[in-house]
Amino acid sequence: MAGTKHSSGVTRREILTGAAVVGAAAVMTSLPLSSAEAIPVPQKWDQSFDVVVVGSGYSGLAAAIEAHDAGAGSVVVIDKAVIVGGNSATASGGYNCADAARQKPQGIEDSPELHYQQTLAGGDFRGEPAKVRFYTEHALDGLHWLEKMGVVFEPKVYTIVGALHPRSHDPINNGRGGAIVAALKKQVDQRKIPVRLNCALTGIVRQEALAGEVLGVQVKERNKVLHIQAKRGVVLATGGFGADVRLRSKYAPQYDDKLPTTNVPWATGESLIFAQDIGADVSGMDYIQLLVACNYFTKKYGDLANLGIDHAVFVNLEGERYVAEDARRDILSGRTMAQPEKVFLWIADDRAAKRYSLERIKMSLDKGLCFTAPTLEELAKILEEKLKVPPAAFLDTVKHYNEMVAAGKDSDFNKKDINLKTVEQGPFWASPTQAGVHHTMGGLCTKADTAQVIDRNGVIVPRLYAAGEATGGVHGTNRLGGNATGDCIVFGRLAGQLAARESVRS
């Protein structure tokens, strides 16, 4: 199969390895009417499970657990990577939902309706209302389910960068998504669900090229091609394509290889192509989010960047503030890209830094990737020496910001009152930060209340489900910070439950 010639003369292997970059782009823009890539139904399956889940991030692990608990006799999780968790394992793990039990004591008004309205508006109304509704109405239930699975969240909520409202919940383990992945993986292990790593999806087996039920998957496991039957259904939970330079720059040419990414290198989009090979539709593929989260020196996520928006100001290399720190993510990254060297200094006081792992901050400090000083004046000296930031301008900017906080109004950029907090308690921190490709909002079209994949005629592809960043339709043009974790959990759970309830085929 891997060497099958497409009508363009380009082989599937060439498409996947990028060996024929120009040709591949042409192939993918003109989807075949009848799939030349369809994988023939094998005469004999190598293995058989009730539910096959592809991907071991939040959405895949949630789907596997729920498929098991809904009665699927056998479930398997496959993942092409050599470690579990995809982007989820390295993510910050912030989880948005209206949660009166935490928000009321903090004096925060919220509701699933407000979350719905903000998610839709924050994505310029390009999200699908029915899907956004399903997500926002089930997000709290998803949080409680994660708690049942062993994830412990902080008692207080806050506003993650670009979340637009204080409804972000952080897992206690220093706010890392790894804590969620670890808890879910433990549950998967307790249920004795096998997780097979180094096992890549290489195609989806359907009864006919573009018709009939999905029967199973073709995988390559440690260089061996296998056909795995899914007696009830397949769940695609293969994540986004932020690290797939070829695919992302096909849809958004400006996001080429010069831009760093926050994603793990295996966040690539071939599974979307395999699904399209059997007729699935995609939407919003050009809605790709940049986030101000990559360290200026290493171009990597994880080297202290995100110091939150409370008790923090964004200052450019000229020592000037240029944006409201609590703006939408597309505005933050767009304005940052217009600054000298496309970089800014995330200046925060100690109250902001305390939210983060001291161990992690120290690692970045030791490597010279961020800076700290007991006073703003001393920090100004360091920034002048390291990055030629004019100290007088820098000090004036922070002073002026603190004066606006005291006056209760950001008359320069309109940072919301609720997020307007001083930067005055030492030690002070500076993290040189730039934008990187972060999230792909588009992906497979799925039905809002069943997570079933939809084909190019708007018809359900029987027994094929998808969830998480592999799907489109929730976030529109711009994802609110903290909305992806809930998206993955809500729709991952749904996909697993409903795949398990499909009738069993022999």
Ligand X SMILES: Cc1cc2nc3c(=O)[nH]c(=O)nc-3n(C[C@H](O)[C@H](O)[C@H](O)COP(=O)(O)OP(=O)(O)OC[C@H]3O[C@@H](n4cnc5c(N)ncnc54)[C@H](O)[C@@H]3O)c2cc1C
Q: How far apart are the first and last CA of the chain?
A: 25
Q: Which is nearer to ligand X, 95 or 394 (CB)?
A: 95
CB of 80 or CB of 321, closer to ligand X: 80
Sole window of 73-81, 312-320, 349-357, 498-506 interacting with ligand X (rule: CB under 6 A)? 73-81
Least Å from the CB of residue 407 to ligand X: 32
Residues 409, 29: Cα–Cα separation, whole Å:
49
- Minimum gap (Å) between residue 244 Cβ and ligand X: 10
Q: Write out the binding residues for ligand X, residues 76-105 only, by CB under 6 A.
A: 78-81, 86-88, 90-94
Q: What share of the chain is helix, strand, coil (3-state, %, to 5)?
A: 35, 20, 45
What are the φ and ψ backbone dihedral angles of 247, each rounded to 5 degrees?
-70, -45
Give the integer Cα–Cα distance in Å for 274 and 206.
11
Q: Which CB, 319 or 481, lies closer to ligand X? A: 481
Comparison of 177 and 432: residue with beta carbon closer to ligand X: 177
Of the candidates 162, 233, 308, 482, which one interacts with ligand X according to CB under 6 A?
Answer: 482
Q: Which stretch binds ligand X (CB under 6 A): 49-57, 124-132, 281-289, 380-388?
A: 49-57
Cβ within 8 Å of residue 490, ≥6 positions away: 134, 135, 138, 139, 141, 142
One residue of 271, 364, 433, 478 binding ligand X per CB under 6 A: 271
C-alpha pair distances (Å), 370 with each of 294, 314, 421 = 12, 14, 22
Q: Write down the catalytic residue from 246, 329, 335, 463.
A: 329
- For the question of residue 329 being annotated catalytic, the response is yes
CA distance 95 to 145: 13
301 near ligand X, rule: CB under 6 A: yes
Q: Which of 483, 491, 494, 497 binds ligand X (CB under 6 A)?
A: 483
Residue 402, H or E segment: helix 391-407
Both tokens assigned to 322: 């240029």
Minimum Å distance from CB 311 to ligand X? 19
Neighbouring residues of 339: CB distance < 8 A, sequence distance ≥ 6 = 316, 317, 322
Closest approach of Cβ 279 to ligand X, in Å? 18
Residue type, 71: G
Q: Residues 212-241: x/- map of binding to ligand X (CB under 6 A)?
A: -------------------------xxx--
Q: Specify the residue, 93 or 122, whose C-beta has the smaller distance to ligand X.
A: 93
Task: Tell me how far, at minimum, the Cβ of 441 lies from ligand X, in Å.
Answer: 10
Query: For residues 455-474, which are near ligand X according to CB under 6 A?
Result: 468-470
Query: Per the structure block, which two tokens stand in for 73?
Result: 């006799």
**Count of chain residues binding ligand X (CB under 6 A):** 42
Separation CA 60–CA 47 (nearest Å): 20
- Name 262's bridge partners: none
CB of residue 486 to ligand X, shortest distance in Å: 7
Query: Which residue lies nearer to ligand X by CB, 24 or 488?
Result: 488
Alpha carbons 364 and 384: distance in angstroms, whole number: 19
Q: What DSSP assignment string belongs to 157-168?
A: -B--TT--SS-E
Interatomic CA distance for residues 192 and 206, integer angstroms? 28
User: Cis link prior to 427 (omega < 30° from 0)?
Assistant: yes
Count of helices and strands (H, E) across the chain: 16, 17
**Can you tell me the distance from the alpha carbon of 448 to that of 442, in angstroms, rounded to the nearest whole number?**
14
Among 10, 37, 56, 474, binds ligand X (CB under 6 A): 56
Q: Do residues 311 and 241 make contact, with C-beta atoms less than 8 angstroms apart?
A: no
Residues 256, 486: Cα–Cα separation, whole Å: 29
Candidates 15, 24, 52, 58; binder of ligand X (CB under 6 A) is 58
Q: Tell whether the torsion through CA atoms of 439, 444, 445 and 450 is positive or negative.
A: negative
Nearest residue (beta carbon) to ligand X: 57
| Nearest residue (CB) to ligand X, 114 versus 387 | 114
Binding mask 438-457 for ligand X (x = CB under 6 A): -x------------------
Q: Which x/- pattern, by CB under 6 A, does the window 165-204 give for ligand X?
A: ------------x----------------------xx---
Q: Kindly state the smallest distance separating residue 488's Cβ from ligand X, in Å.
A: 5
Q: List the x/- string, 324-363, binding to ligand X by CB under 6 A.
A: ----------------------------------------
Task: Tell me the catalytic residues.
Answer: 329
Q: Which residues bind ligand X (CB under 6 A)?
A: 54-60, 78-81, 86-88, 90-94, 160, 177, 200-201, 237-239, 262-263, 266-267, 270-271, 301, 439, 468-470, 482-485, 488
